[in-house]
Amino acid sequence: MRGSRGRGLVLAFASAALFGASTPACKWMLGALPPLQLAGLLYLGAALGTGAWLLRERRAPALPPDRSNRGRLVGAVALGGVAGPLLLLEGLQIAPAASVALLLNLEIAATAALGAWLFREPLGARGWLAVAGIGGAGALVSGSAGWPGVPAAALVAAACACWGFDNQLTARIDGIVPAQAAFWKGAVAGSANLAIGLATSPFAATAPSVAAALGVGALSYGASVALYIAAAQQLGATRAQAVFASAPFLGAALSLAALREPLRPAQLAGAALLALSVAMLLRARHVHPHRHGALEHVHAHRHDDGHHLHEHPDAAPATLHSHWHRHEPLSHAHPHLPDLHHRHRHR
């Protein structure tokens, strides 16, 4: 369990760093591309990046094998790949990049609320206190930097709601590896956004602008999304999103550095509150007797976590690997997160 938690933390922080850098980059690129065309190129870049990884790993860009997981993927593409980025870029057009980046802290609140209310993901009193602290850190820092105005704030909040649904849906996608899910999100959402963008505005971007958008998409959307999905599968969507909450602060720091704005004490205090809240959320313990039914799926796993009991004589138990495998029915009690193996109900 500790190994899974540690890997999830590393993956979530890497995802946050890549995505955080996208806010100032997108603000700069909006001078050359309208929002829909930029959103399309960003996600097509994500598809190119994850497609190259799949090719290197000799994996096909397969779809989930069953209807329920395909439905989750469709929902994630529509909300997280099409609606969310468009709303964000529209808000970014009319507001400073630092303010928009900091408002993205609303995503953690949306993810937690949806996880508790719709998907029955347990948080407990300590978890909700941590979520409140994360939201408070965002409000503290956003207020010190200056709010971007009601229209822009509403657009960013709507984008965060879309990504809250996306986070919960992608954490539950089973049957394909994270890079495959990220590929389909990039390919479908990118094509849809670019097609609509070309139908509504003439394409006047230069080759360097297109290359920059594809490059940012490959790293900040493709690699970042794949890393986030892998983290969410190991930590649960809400806890992975709590770590990912560092992305707005990274984006704001880069934006402030590019604009040469001063660092305010309230921003440092907000960053400290965020770190404390994330640590509190990740240290919240959840343990009770539970039963696992028979299950077949594919995901990255190790054999020292108490759940993967099939044998690999030629590999050490701590070796991380991915393949289709079967779980036999199992009953036990241990501290656990709402990962792929712990989606059980809590009365």
Would the CA dihedral through 133, 254, 20, 179 be positive or negative? negative
What percent of the chain stands above pLDDT 90? 20
Provide the domain count of the chain.
2
CB atoms within 10 A of CB 292: 15
Query: pLDDT tens digits for 176-217?
Result: 877 888 899 999 999 999 999 999 889 988 999 999 999 999
Please count the CA atoms within 13 angstroms of the CA of 168 that sit on its side-chain side: 22
CB 151 within 8 A of CB 94: yes
- Owner of token pair 């303010």: 99
pLDDT bracket for residue 31 (50, 70, 90): confident
Write the DSSP assignment of 104-116 as a string of letters.
TTHHHHHHHHHHH
Q: For residue 338, which phi and psi values (nearest 5 degrees)? A: -80, 60
Write the DSSP assignment of 34-51 as a string of letters.
-HHHHHHHHHHHHHHHHH
- Residue 340 maps to a domain: no
CB 43 within 8 A of CB 260: no
- Residue 75 maps to a domain: yes
Q: State whether residue 322 is helix, strand or coil.
A: strand
Q: State whether residue 291 is helix, strand or coil.
A: strand
Residues contacting residue 123 through CB under 8 Å, at least 6 positions apart: 112, 115, 116, 131, 238, 284
273 in the Ramachandran plot: left (φ > 0), alpha (ψ -120 to 50) or beta? Answer: alpha
- pLDDT for the residue numbered 94: 83
62 and 114 share a domain?
yes
pLDDT bracket for residue 48 (50, 70, 90): very high
Domain that holds residue 320: 293-335
Name the range with the highest mean pLDDT among 1-10, 50-59, 237-246, 268-277: 50-59
- pLDDT for the residue numbered 342: 44
Mean per-residue pLDDT for 288-297?
Answer: 60
- pLDDT for the residue numbered 282: 63
Please count the CA atoms within 13 angstroms of the CA of 62 that sit on its side-chain side: 13
Q: State whether residue 208 is helix, strand or coil.
A: helix
126 and 201 share a domain?
yes
215 and 245 share a domain?
yes
81 and 159 share a domain?
yes
Q: How far apart, in whole angstroms, are the C-alpha atoms of residue 81 and residue 211?
A: 20
- pLDDT for the residue numbered 331: 63
CB 121 within 8 A of CB 338: yes
- Residue 346 maps to a domain: no
More confident residue, 250 or 160: 160
Query: pLDDT tens digits for 309-347?
Result: 667 666 656 555 666 677 667 665 545 455 555 454 545
Mean per-residue pLDDT for 286-292?
Answer: 56
- Residue 185 maps to a domain: yes
Q: For residue 291, which phi and psi values (nearest 5 degrees)? A: -120, 135
CB 175 within 8 A of CB 65: yes
Would the CA dihedral through 214, 220, 221, 222 be positive or negative? positive
Query: pLDDT tens digits for 130-169?
Result: 778 877 876 776 665 555 567 888 898 899 999 999 988 8
- pLDDT for the residue numbered 97: 79
| Radius of gyration from C-alpha coordinates of the chain | 20
- Residue 155 maps to a domain: yes
- pLDDT for the residue numbered 319: 55
Name the range with the highest mean pLDDT among 37-41, 53-57, 64-68, 147-151: 37-41
- pLDDT for the residue numbered 307: 64
Query: pLDDT tens digits for 96-139?
Result: 777 787 778 778 778 877 877 776 666 677 777 877 887 787 67
Q: Is 303 a residue whose pLDDT tops 50?
A: yes
97 and 48 share a domain?
yes
43 and 119 share a domain?
yes
Measured distance between the N- and C-terminal CA atoms of the chain, rounded to whole angstroms:
24
Query: What's the mean per-residue pLDDT of the chain?
Result: 78
Q: Is 3 a residue whose pLDDT tops 90?
A: no
**pTM score, two decimals?**
0.66
- Residue 344 maps to a domain: no
